[in-house]
Structure 1
């Protein structure tokens, strides 16, 4: 569409180390690998330390983040890919994984949601490509912005 623009915020700067857990569902391994590559590059650019864990599918990503919250991480990057199939399972996986991540966020977890929900494999490949739409990098940036916001308001309360 003509006139359409997208604005990307600069990455936040941190004066104390940032630890981020990337939780990825590698069901579509090549898509997941691209998402992780993009996320890692963004985290590296911000000087954040990253750890990666894998879970079986998109529905397990929020549960893993919930479990890992006690692990001393400042933020989390949720990555995976759900491609529409012939049944309503797609709707369940998309809605429930997203809802669970949102609920964790409302409880104070700093989460960037990079679980792709697409109609086709080709759509996923374009979105995951670190040199393209780089949705993994975008999810990592979102997590970093929430970490920065959390730290800002923690200082204000102190």
Structure 2
């Protein structure tokens, strides 16, 4: 018998939230189910979204990086599916797409990783199905929770810990102009 998974309560927002869903639709039907779950979760939280497609899971972190640099999204949802084949390409795609997303998250981006990495199509179908495991919604919920944390902790930096150079120089200038800041 499978254990019941705990799900955090849906975050609430006072200001609008906009997420970008980046999807690799290699398996179109699975991608469509992941998208359905993700969009329903975003809308249930009162958020809005845009969807963009990329050729494969390896391109998802790059697309998110471009969007972060050139757009104004609060967070990102990475969706796709990698099914084990006969070669080691599966490991490369799984590991590198996950590593890319993790590195972006460690840089402060709010990302929910919904890239399925499975042994067979049946596993993918169950995980993508909004009426079953609904991993698209889970990825959207993860991004929404990270956006909520960012907004909760988004006050002025105190100068403790890692700070990107641009912010460090900006803060230094503010402190020079206003020593009480």
TM-score by shorter chain over 0.5 = yes
CA distance in 2: counterparts of 1:69 and 1:93, whole angstroms: 22
Query: Equivalent residue for 1:136?
Result: 136
Query: Equivalent residue for 2:155?
Result: 155
| TM-score, normalised by the number of residues in structure 1 | 0.96
Report deviation, 1:156: 6.6
| Bigger Rg, which one | 2
SS in 2 for 1:77: strand
CA distance in 1: counterparts of 2:74 and 2:116, whole angstroms: 23
CA distance in 1: counterparts of 2:82 and 2:75, whole angstroms: 23
User: Which of 1 and 2 has higher RCO (CA within 8 Å, sep 6+)?
Assistant: 1
CA distance in 2: counterparts of 1:114 and 1:12, whole angstroms: 19
Does 2:68 correspond to 1:69? yes
Tell me which stretches of 4 or more aligned residues in structure 1 moved more than 3 Å: 155-158
Call closer, same or farther: CA 1:16–1:82 in 2, change over 3 Å: same
Query: Equivalent residue for 2:12?
Result: 13
Report deviation, 1:147: 0.2
Query: Equivalent residue for 1:94?
Result: 94
Contiguous gaps of at least 5 residues in structure 1:
none
Query: Equivalent residue for 2:56?
Result: 57
Query: Equivalent residue for 1:22?
Result: 21
SS in 2 for 1:26: coil
SS in 2 for 1:154: coil
CA distance in 2: counterparts of 1:85 and 1:20, whole angstroms: 32
CA distance in 1: counterparts of 2:39 and 2:59, whole angstroms: 21
Contiguous gaps of at least 5 residues in structure 2:
159-181
Report deviation, 1:91: 0.2
SS in 2 for 1:12: coil
The number of residue pairs the alignment matches comes to 157
Root-mean-square deviation (CA), in Å?
A: 1.2
| TM-score, normalised by the number of residues in structure 2 | 0.84
CA distance in 2: counterparts of 1:86 and 1:112, whole angstroms: 28
